[in-house]
Amino acid sequence: MEQDRSSQSRPPHVLVFPFPLQGHINSMIKLAELLAIAGFKLTFLNSHHNHERLTITDGLPLDHPRSGNWFLDMLEDTMELKMKESLREVIVNSSPPELGIPIIIFRTSSPRSFWVSYSIPDIIQAGELPINGSEDMDRLITTVPGMETYLRCRDLPTFCRKLDIEDSIMKLVVKQTRKSLQADALILNTAEELDGPILSQIRTKCPRVYAVGPLHAQLNTRLNAKHGESYDHFSNTLWEVDKSCIFWLNKQPNRSVIYVSFGSITSTSREQLVELWYGLLNSKTKFLLVVRPNSVIGKDGEGEDVVMELMEKSKDRSYIVNWAPQEAVLNHPAVGGFFTHNGWNSTLESIVAGVPMICWPYFADQHVNSRVVSEVWKIGLDMKDVCDRKIVEKMVNDVMVDRKEEFAKSAYEMAKVTNQCVNVGGSSYSNLDCLVEDIRIMSL
C-alpha cells in the first residue's frame, strides 16, 4: 500500500540545512542520503565557506580559521542575522510562499548532552550550579533525570564551569535546546539500545523522537541492500584526506596502533601536545596522529614546527597526517584504540568499529560523552581535565596492553548490539522507516 501511494504521488521535498561545521555536516549528509534512498527529493543547503558553489553565507569572513570554542557563539549570532534571511529567500524562491512547512530538528550532538542542556535551568534552580571552585568538580549533579548516579560537575559542558550563570554561551545553548522541542519532531543520531533511558526522558518533553543512528552504519546497511555497496568513507570532508596512512597501517600487526585525533574544531596548546607526545612515546605503542593545519596554538607556524620536530624523533613508531579517513582508520585491523576528544560522530564511529577509547574531551557535548563511555558503557578511560605524560602513558598501556582483553571484549559487545540496531528489524532501522512514513504523511 505504501509503495502504491509513493509511486503515485509526488515525493516529499526535504530541505536539509546543517549548522556549518564538519561534525554536523557529516551526519546531516548521511541523513540526507538515507532520505534520498527512501525516494524523497532533497535539497542540501550549505554555506559559502564550506562549499563555494552553494549559495549563502554563514556570516563569518571566508578566511576565518573556524576553530576553538569561542567562535561558536559568534557563528550563532551571524547565522541568526544573515542565514535566517538567506534561508527565507531559498524557501520562498524554490516553492510558493507557504507557511506551515513542517520543521524536523536533527540534533547532531549526543542525546545525553542534549538532555543535560535542557536541564540546566533546573540544575541552577536546585542550587547545583554555579560550581564552587575546583574541589567541587567531583560532586554529583542530582537534578538531571536519568543521570543522577554518574553525572559530576566536571562532566557538565564547559560553559557550566564559569561562575556566571548568566554566561552567554550557556544561555544560547539552553535557548536553542528548548526551542528544538517545539519542532514537529526531533531526530537523534543514536539507538534505543545505546541511550534508551535518556530517550524516554526526552520523550516526556517531545513525544516524536526518532532515534535512527548510528547514521553512518544505517547508511551502510541501506546502501548495501540497495546497491550491494558501502558508502564512500573518503567523501564528505572539508579537508583533503590523506589516505597514505592506510598503507602505513597495512604494515602494522593487528590491534597494535592507537589512533589519535581530536576532530575538526579543537585546538591544542604546544605544552599539551608535548605532554601527549611523550606519553605516547613512553607507552611503546605505535600511533597514528592527526594534526590539522593551524590547530596547534602558538605564534605563526610555531605550533607546526613543534609537531614536525617531535614526529621526526618518533618516525619509526608513528605516522602523522593533516586529516585522516577516520572511519576507514577505525575499521582497520591494525587499530586497537582511539585517543579521542569524544565529538559525538567520533564516539559513534568508534563504537560501531568496536574500538575502545581514551577520552580527552575539550568542550560542547564531549565531557558528557566521555563520562558515558567510561562509566556507563565501560568501553574506555576518561582522561578529562589532565594532560600529563605519565597519565597518557598509563592510559595507553591500560587500553593497548594491560587491560587490552577487557576493553576489547566490552567494545566488541557494544559494537555487536549497536550494529544489530541498524540491520533489518533493528530499532534504528524500524525508526527510520517510521520517520520516512511520517514525513510522507506530513507532506500530503
In the complex, least distance from residue 26 CB atom to ligand UDP, rounded to whole angstroms: 4
The Cα–Cα gap between 41 and 243 comes to: 33
Task: Yes or no: say if 279 and 396 are a contact pair by the CB < 8 Å rule.
Answer: yes
Which one, 17 or 40, has the nearer CB to ligand UDP?
Answer: 17
The Cα–Cα gap between 298 and 367 comes to: 25
The Cα–Cα gap between 2 and 297 comes to: 55
Using CB positions, name the residue nearest to ligand UDP. 343
Whether the bond between 130 and the residue before it is cis, its omega within 30 degrees of 0, is: yes
Q: How far apart are the first and last CA of the chain?
A: 15
88: burial class by Cβ within 10 Å (0-12, 13-18, 19+)?
exposed
The Cα–Cα gap between 379 and 370 comes to: 10
In the complex, least distance from residue 96 CB atom to ligand UDP, rounded to whole angstroms: 36
Which one, 216 or 222, has the nearer CB to ligand UDP?
Answer: 216
Which one, 348 or 408, has the nearer CB to ligand UDP?
Answer: 348
Cα 68 vs. chain centroid, distance in angstroms? 16
Which one, 222 or 341, has the nearer CB to ligand UDP?
Answer: 341
Which one, 23 or 337, has the nearer CB to ligand UDP?
Answer: 23
In the complex, least distance from residue 292 CB atom to ligand UDP, rounded to whole angstroms: 7
**Residues at the interface with ligand UDP (CB under 6 A):** 21-23, 26, 237, 261, 263-265, 290, 323-324, 326-327, 343-346, 349
Which one, 18 or 23, has the nearer CB to ligand UDP?
Answer: 23
Distances (CA, A) of 173 to 116, 245, 442: 10, 37, 28
In the complex, least distance from residue 227 CB atom to ligand UDP, rounded to whole angstroms: 22
Which one, 28 or 131, has the nearer CB to ligand UDP?
Answer: 28
Which one, 40 or 259, has the nearer CB to ligand UDP?
Answer: 259
Reported as half-sphere exposure (CB side, CA atoms, 13 A), residue 170 has a value of 20
In the complex, least distance from residue 331 CB atom to ligand UDP, rounded to whole angstroms: 11
